[in-house]
Chain A
Amino acid sequence: MVKSVEESDVRELQALQMYLNEYTQQGEVLARQLELLMRQRMEASAAIEALKELKSVEEPIVLFPLGGGTTVRAHILDPERVLVNIGADVIVQRTNGQATEYLEDRIRELEALEKKVGESLQNIRAQVNEIARRIETGYEKARGG
């Protein structure tokens, strides 16, 4: 630290640095949350597409992945009977249409959440930029003084 900086300025810079770290960490958490929400939404969209496709095909035969890049042919016995995970470790049987509706609702919820988290992330990023600017000004002042 530059010697000519007043003790109070040093303390202020230290406090600002602390806030910067805190806000940066919060920003990272929110960015991760946003990514997770987007991934869940895309997964739900893909599931809707699969459900619709299974319904439209006369004799649905799919490739069932076994891992390691291997798959086996599998015949879907009843594409109308779909098991949906409704959370809290509970899975219920729904019709194809009901499962699609459930997923569409879920997508709407996820979109609303994404919007909220996205706004919070923007606010945090604005705060981070403002604090970084104040720290920069503080150091400039110290160098000049």
Chain B
Amino acid sequence: MDNIPMKVQNQIAMLQQLQQQLQTVLNQKAQYELAVREARKAQEELKDVPEDAEIFVNVGTIMVKQPKNRVSSSLNEKIESLEIRIKSLEKQEKAMQARFEQLSAQVKEALEARKPPEAA
């Protein structure tokens, strides 16, 4: 690492940082996707429940009774809001991946250029 130019060393550090950021974005996206799946499944389950059935929603440490239509619309809102966040994370992911590829190509090029010519 000592004989690698400072510029390339910086680029490598940026690559590592970018990789960590990308991982964070991917983890967050996976969490939101899981939450959307869970909300959709709950929405499906709700369809089989009679209109007058008792439905409760976890609010902090207590469970509050709510009418079916209200629970259903809050689940829809939750799904919509999570989908928006997922789309935004997908945009970030794409941009980061493009930057990552660009940077790694630059680093690779710089390192290749430093290699001693191979014996014929």
Contacts and interface: CB of A to CB of B under 8 A. Distances in A.
Interface string B93-119: 000000000000000000000000000
A90 B46 contact: yes
B71 interface: yes
B71 A90 contact: yes
- Sorting the interface of chain A by its residue count into under 10, 10 to 19, 20 to 34 or 35 or more gives 10 to 19
A89 interface: yes
A51 to B, nearest CB: 17
Interface string B46-82: 1001000111111100010000000100010010000
B38 A92 contact: no
Interface residues of B, number: 19
Contact of B58 (A91, A92, A93, A94): A91
B7 interface: no
A144 interface: no
B42 A86 contact: yes
B41 A91 contact: no
Interface string A89-113: 1111110000000100000000000
A105 to B, nearest CB: 10
Contacts of B38: 87-88
Interface string B1-32: 00000000000000000000000000000000
Given A83-B56, A87-B38, A87-B41, A92 B63 contact: no
B41 A92 contact: no
Residue among A86, A88, A91, A94 with the most chain B CB within 10 A? A88
Contacts of A86: 41-42, 45-46
B55 A91 contact: yes
Interface of A: 83, 86-94, 102
Interface of B: 35, 38-39, 41-42, 45-46, 49, 53-59, 63, 71, 75, 78
17 contacts: A87-B41, A87-B42, A87-B45, A88-B35, A88-B41, A88-B75, A89-B57, A89-B58, A89-B59, A90-B71, A91-B56, A91-B58, A92-B45, A92-B49, A93-B49, A93-B53, A102-B45
